[in-house]
A and B are shown apart, each in its own frame.
Chain A
Amino acid sequence: MAKEYLGEFEELVLTMVAALQKDAYGAAISEEIETRLKREVNLSAVHVTLYRLEDKGYIKSSMGGGTNERGGRRKRIFTITSAGMAMLRALKESRIELWKLVPQLKMS
């Protein structure tokens, strides 16, 4: 069975969707990545990744309300699906497994 893989950025965006919950939309995700990880992200890259994740079935979307700071435009709110959640968990677990293999405290 071919296993699906996620790219690094995809994983990051997916995690942000899971973390932000009701507030997960393009601009918020990119802002959050910028402030928390101090990492410049391209808004269009975030959008493209979100759509791709939606295509793959890890997240789903619905239109939310608009606010004045967006000139009244509505947001597309993304929520993580159970498939997405399972994927994230699997990823996390595999990382921990791998991490355990790394010899610890060898610095001295």
Chain B
Amino acid sequence: MNNHNHDKIQTFRSLRLLKWFCPPHLYEEIEGDLIQKFYREAGAFGDNKAKRRLLWNVIRFFRPGIVLRSKFSVELNQVDMYKSYFEIMMRNLLKQKFYSAIAILGLTVGITFALLIGVFIWGEMQVNANLKDVDRLYLMETNYKATEGNQPPFFVPALLGQQAIEQYPTVFEKYYRFRDRNITVSKGDKHFRIQSMIGDSTFFEMFGFPVLHGNVEMALNKPTSIVITEKIAQQYFNKTDVVGETLTLSTEVNGLKDFVITAVMAEVQKKNSVTDFMNSDAQIFLPQDSRGDFNLGFQDEWNTGIITYIKIAPNASSVAAAAILNRILTKEAPKAISENKTIELNSLKNYYLVTNHGVVQKLIISLTIILFFILTLAITNFVNISIASSFSRLKEVGVRKVIGGIKRQVVIQFLSESLLFAVFSGSLSLFLYEILHGYFGEVLGVSLPDILKMNFSFWVSMLTGTLMVGLLAGVYPSLYLSATETIESLKGKFHSVKGTIRFSRGLVAFQFLIAVFVFIMSLVMSDQISYFMEADLGYDKSHVLIVSSVPRMWNEEGMNKMTAAKREFLTSSKIKSVSLSWGSPNFNFDPFSATINLAGQPLEKGILTNMASADEDYAKVYGLKILEGKFFFDESEGFQANRLVLNESAQKALAVEVGDKLRMQFSDKEFTVAGIVKDFNFESMHERIKPVAFTHNRDFQAFRFFSFKLHPGNIAQSVQEVEKNWKNIFPNDPFVYTFTDERLTMAYQTELQLKRASAIASVLVLIIVLTGVLGLVSLGVAKRNKEIGIRKVLGASAYNILILISREYAVLMAVAFLMGIPISYLFVSHWLSGFAYHTDLNGWMFAVPILILFCITITMVCLQSLRTAMAEPVKSLKYE
């Protein structure tokens, strides 16, 4: 019985609570008294009530008379001790202002940069995290067996999602499919071009986007329903409660058509892989049934590609789900569709990071490396400075030990000093973050949140991070200082001086190694990115204005209207040439890919080709070089139907000549090759140039962009003039424009972010390394004051002295550079191999950073030691 009770007592939660706050020497009797009281009460009121009262009694013991009784008398002593530590630290800090400033500067720069980068990385990792059940959301992607010239991977057969839900309801829960359109939306005299998603009614249940007004379940049920975001509601109505209002959309098939607003969505997280799929930033959402209005040919057929998200059941595995999808595809779909592709499931959780060649992930990894380097530099700096300046503190340690200080106390003292330094730098960094985050966000092209809006985990990680830095920075100096022999340290001799100097030199060499690595990396990155931006893309990107808000009248009447508009535009003196096309290089270039083959040969002999669509002036506007034939037809000739223009890659792959007849998948017509253009880079430079075939948009009957080649000169004025003409010709369509080079910049945005961040990092690294060296040199010179005096007496010149001091650093740098070159070579060549087109690594990319670093460092070393070298030897020798 008693044993049983005993066990029960062991498990009382309340007593564990007591243990937590109760001073140990009082614990046993209080616990005993409580247990005694518990049994008495259990007899009187029953077990449960007694248990409750026990907890209450325990809680009532949480009072100053008990809690503070623990080490109160002991603690008083320690407070004094810590106070003395603090005092001595402040004294040292003020006595050695220069070194303290260097140490704090290094740490602050390091922590601030880490903070900025860390917040940025955190933000990128959080993309999609707000979607409902994001762990179970997947984007279907098609994996083609052929490697060249396929449709974008995110188009999958339209029926697949539906079949999956119907056949395997236990594995799949929901799907959402959409195609996008850029639509001109009007209300009164307000016309804007807005990105839309036209898709299934499962949109809200699937992703859980918050809604301000309207009924989520019915929102996308009728063919004329429209859901808009808060932002769009404000834009058109200046309020958000606009359910029941209508908006007029200009549709490709049925002209202007009214849609009724059924729901208003709250602003969603800016970046996500649904409404912001491929940075599209969709703001209006239309039902699947409205697709006919927008000439989106997809029916529920295997044959058409559509973007499909699928949600799997809570306990289903994605591997099994993908296998099932592939099984459905091979079983149900026509063989022509299923035979050369497999379906993959990409978790939305990391889709943002790995999409587009994993460019974001690469950025995050590179930034993490840089962050780590900068923090390491800051810490090594601190270690170096504290070791070097601690020679003057050896006596203090000796005295402490003589009067009874134990080793542990010395360790604690120096550790708490470095922790304090770190905390101080950390707080300074928070200030700096607050000042800099706007600028830094601009540089990186993102908005970094304000410090006051940070959540709890930010503060926790900030605190632990800072303490870690302080601990790492303090651990070696404190162990080293506390380990010196008392007598030795009192005499001012260092038993372990040799070892420390070697360690210290190692750290400096390490710093140089990191510095040279970061410099080379940043130089190569910046070179590669300028290569991207300035390389001969095969087309002329200067002064080309693209207007993307062309009304989509995709019929004969529309074609005629566009031709008339072109003529009207050309009357302006600012415009050199105009072209109507589907897309432009690096900006939605082609509508689809199709297999083309020589007429008379089987389809299998053909090649997958990106089908572009443009008019006869496209080559003129974009400066495409025509190698053979002509771009569709001559001006005098007039329109000729069913002609194709190929790029060199397509021509070579098909081995055709001008005049040959070609056949095209999805079309029963025969096309004549009218001309061959030189290869040009219409996609990212990450990839090789693919075969392209241009069809004329009179044959293709679809177009989206007007491209204007402007005369050089005042571009702003030219844009104004084009806009004026635009308003005359298309009064009901907004004027949405961009420049080719701007699009190019957007296409390489992540690379540009990396370039800017690494440039900033190089500057920071330089600052940290140089201040570190500065501190070390001045400490070294101060220690060798007497030696230098003796050397001078014996006849050394100032020049000899400078050589003597800088030789040490020159050797260190040489070692660091010898190690740094192969390491950075390996890294950058690996990085460059990720690009299909890249700059060649050059000797100068390694030589220049090394030379610059070497010269700056030696100059600084000399300047810093010049005063000592020039001083009269008498001064340094007379105090003996």
Contact = CB atoms under 8 A, between A and B. Distances in A.
Contact of B69 (A27, A30, A51): A51
A69 B37 CA distance: 9
Nearest to A43: B57
Contacts of B34: 27, 43
B31 A73 contact: yes
Contacts of A52: 65
A71 interface: yes
Nearest to A64: B29
Max chain B Cβ within 10 angstroms of own Cβ: one of A66, A71, A76: A71
A52 B69 CA distance: 10
A72 B29 CA distance: 10
Contacts of A42: 57, 60
A9 to B, nearest CB: 12
Given A31-B40, A44-B57, A72-B6, A51 B65 contact: yes
Contact of A63 (B29, B37, B57): B29
Contacts of A30: 33, 37
Contacts of B60: 42-45
A9 B39 CA distance: 25
Given A43-B57, A44-B61, A69-B36, A26 B5 contact: no
A89 B46 CA distance: 42
Nearest to B35: A71
A105 B66 CA distance: 46
A60 interface: no
A27 B63 contact: no
B817 to A, nearest CB: 69
Contacts of B31: 71, 73
A47 B32 contact: no
B9 interface: yes
Contacts of B61: 43-44, 47
B760 interface: no
A74 B6 contact: no
Contacts of A43: 33-34, 37, 57, 60-61
Contact of A76 (B29, B36, B40): B29
A104 interface: no
Given A43-B60, A71-B5, A27 B65 contact: no
Interface string A61-90: 001001011111111100000000000000
Interface in B1-27: 2, 5-6, 9, 26
A58 interface: no
B30 interface: yes
A47 B28 contact: no
A44 B37 contact: no
B7 to A, nearest CB: 10
A27 B37 contact: yes
Nearest to A49: B65
A53 to B, nearest CB: 12
Nearest to B60: A44
Contacts of A66: 32
Contact of B66 (A47, A70, A71): A47
Interface string A8-19: 000000000000
A7 B729 CA distance: 97
Interface string B135-175: 00000000000000000000000000000000000000000
A34 B34 CA distance: 15
Nearest to A73: B32
Q: Categorize the interface residue count of chain B.
A: 20 to 34
Contact of B30 (A31, A47, A63, A68): A47
Contacts of A51: 26, 65-66, 69
A48 interface: yes
B9 to A, nearest CB: 4
Given A43-B57, A63-B29, A70 B35 contact: yes
B18 to A, nearest CB: 10
B35 A73 contact: yes
A53 B827 CA distance: 73
A17 to B, nearest CB: 14
Contacts of B26: 47, 51, 76
Contacts of A69: 35-36, 39
Contact of A48 (B28, B33, B35, B65): B65
Given A25-B29, A43-B57, A76-B29, A71 B9 contact: yes
Contacts of A74: 28-29, 32
B29 A44 contact: no
A13 to B, nearest CB: 13
Given A43-B57, A43-B60, A27 B5 contact: no
B65 A71 contact: no
Contacts of B40: 31
A71 B69 CA distance: 24
Nearest to B40: A31
A71 B40 CA distance: 13
A48 B33 CA distance: 13
A74 B25 CA distance: 12
B65 A26 contact: no
Contact of B63 (A26, A44, A71): A44
A79 B862 CA distance: 79
A44 B58 CA distance: 8
A63 B25 CA distance: 11
Contacts of A71: 5-6, 9, 31-32, 35
A70 B63 contact: no
A48 B32 CA distance: 15
Given A44-B60, A69-B39, A75 B66 contact: no
A73 B66 contact: no
A63 B27 CA distance: 12
Given A31-B40, A47-B66, A48-B63, A70 B30 contact: no
Max chain A Cβ within 10 angstroms of own Cβ: one of B40, B60, B65: B65
Contacts of B35: 69-71, 73
B51 to A, nearest CB: 14
A70 B32 CA distance: 5
A26 B60 CA distance: 14
Contacts of A47: 26, 30, 33, 61, 65-66
Nearest to A74: B28
B737 to A, nearest CB: 77
B36 A27 contact: yes
Contact of A44 (B5, B6, B28, B66): B66
A68 B28 CA distance: 14
A68 B30 CA distance: 15
A66 B34 CA distance: 13
Contact of B29 (A31, A68, A75): A75
A73 B63 contact: no
A16 B37 CA distance: 18
Contacts of B36: 27, 69-70
A25 B33 contact: yes
A70 B37 CA distance: 8
A75 B30 CA distance: 8
A25 B26 CA distance: 12
A49 to B, nearest CB: 8
Interface in A22-56: 25-27, 30-31, 42-45, 47-48, 51-52
B32 A75 contact: yes
A84 to B, nearest CB: 19
Interface of B: 2, 5-6, 9, 26, 28-37, 39-40, 57, 60-61, 63, 65-66, 69
18 contacts: A25-B29, A26-B33, A27-B34, A42-B57, A42-B60, A43-B33, A43-B61, A47-B61, A47-B65, A48-B63, A51-B26, A51-B65, A70-B35, A70-B36, A71-B32, A73-B32, A73-B35, A75-B33
Given A27-B37, A47-B66, A51-B26, 9 more contacts: A25-B29, A27-B33, A30-B33, A42-B60, A43-B33, A43-B61, A45-B60, A73-B31, A76-B26
Interface of A: 25-27, 30-31, 42-45, 47-48, 51-52, 63, 66, 68-76
7 A-B pairs with least C-beta separation? A73-B32, A48-B65, A70-B32, A27-B33, A76-B29, A26-B33, A44-B61
